[in-house]
Amino acid sequence: MPLLTLACVIIIVTYVCVALLAPVLAPFGQFDVSAGAYQPWDKTHKLGTDNLGRDILSRLMYGLRNSLGIALVTAIIAFLVGVGLGVMSAVGGGWLDQVLSRLVDVLMAIPGLIFALLLLSITGPSIWAMITIIALVEATRIYRLARGVSLNIATADFVEAARIRGEGLPWIIAREIVPNATAPLLAEFGLRFSYVFLFVSALSFLGLGIQPPFAELGSMVRDNAVLITYGEITPLLPAATIAGLTVSVNILVDWYLKEFG
Partner 1 sequence: MADKKPILSIKNLSVSAGPENDPIPVLNGVDLDLYKGEVLGLIGESGAGKSTLGLAAMGYFRRGCRVTGGTVTCAGVDLLAMTDQQREAIHGTKIAYVAQSAAASFNPAYRLMDQVTETARIRAGTPAAKARSDALELFERMKLPEPHQFGLRYPHQVSGGQLQRALTAMAMLCQPDIVIFDEPTTALDVTTQVDVLGTMKDAVRDFGIAGIYVSHDLTVVAQMADRIKVLLRGRQVEEAPTRDMLASPQQEYTKSLWSVRKIQKPPSVGSKSPEMRIQVEGVHASYGKVPVLEDVSINVRAGETLAIVGESGSGKSTLARVLTGLLKPRAGRVLLNGTEAASGYRQRSKSDLRAVQMIYQMPDTALNDQQSVGTIIGRPLTFYHGLRGEQNRKRASELLEMIGMDPKVFLQRTPRQLSGGQKQRICIARALAAEPTVLICDEVTSALDQIVAEGILRLLEGLQKDLNFAQVFITHDLTTVRAIADTVAVMELGRIVEFGPRDVVLDDPQKPYTRKLLRSVPEMDPNWLDDIRREFAKDTETATSPEGRAAP
Examine residue 94 and tell whether it contacts partner 1 (CB under 8 A). Answer: no
Examine residue 180 and tell whether it contacts partner 1 (CB under 8 A). Answer: yes
d(CA 118, CA 112): 10
Considering the complex, what minimum distance in angstroms separates the CB of residue 77 from partner 1? 26
| Interactions with partner 1, residue window 160-179 (CB under 8 A) | 160-161, 163-167, 175-176, 179
Q: Is 228 helix (H, G, I), strand (E, B) or coil?
A: helix
| Residues constituting the chain | 261
Considering the complex, what minimum distance in angstroms separates the CB of residue 176 from partner 1? 6
**Judged by CB under 8 A, which stretch of 54-62, 133-141, 159-167, 187-195 contacts partner 1?**
159-167
Examine residue 158 and tell whether it contacts partner 1 (CB under 8 A). Answer: yes
d(CA 105, CA 86): 13
d(CA 115, CA 120): 9
| Interactions with partner 1, residue window 95-124 (CB under 8 A) | none
Considering the complex, what minimum distance in angstroms separates the CB of residue 174 from partner 1? 11
Count residues binding partner 1 (CB under 8 A).
Answer: 14
> Do 225 and 207 form a contact (C-beta atoms < 8 A)?
no
Q: Which is nearer to partner 1, 16 or 162 (CB)?
A: 162
Considering the complex, what minimum distance in angstroms separates the CB of residue 49 from partner 1? 54
CA angle centred on 126, ends 54 and 122, rounded to 5°: 130
Secondary structure letter of residue 26 according to DSSP = -
Question: Of these, 13, 80, 103, 156, which contacts partner 1 (CB under 8 A)?
Answer: 156
Burial (Cβ within 10 Å: 0-12, 13-18, ≥19) of residue 249: buried
Considering the complex, what minimum distance in angstroms separates the CB of residue 92 from partner 1? 12
d(CA 188, CA 181): 11
CA 61 to chain centre: 17
Question: Of these, 157, 229, 230, 231, which contacts partner 1 (CB under 8 A)?
Answer: 157
Cis peptide before 27 (omega within 30 of 0): no
**Judged by CB under 8 A, which stretch of 4-12, 119-127, 140-148, 155-163 contacts partner 1?**
155-163
d(CA 226, CA 52): 13
Considering the complex, what minimum distance in angstroms separates the CB of residue 88 from partner 1? 16
| Interactions with partner 1, residue window 193-252 (CB under 8 A) | none
Question: Which chain residues interact with partner 1 by CB under 8 A?
Answer: 156-158, 160-161, 163-167, 175-176, 179-180
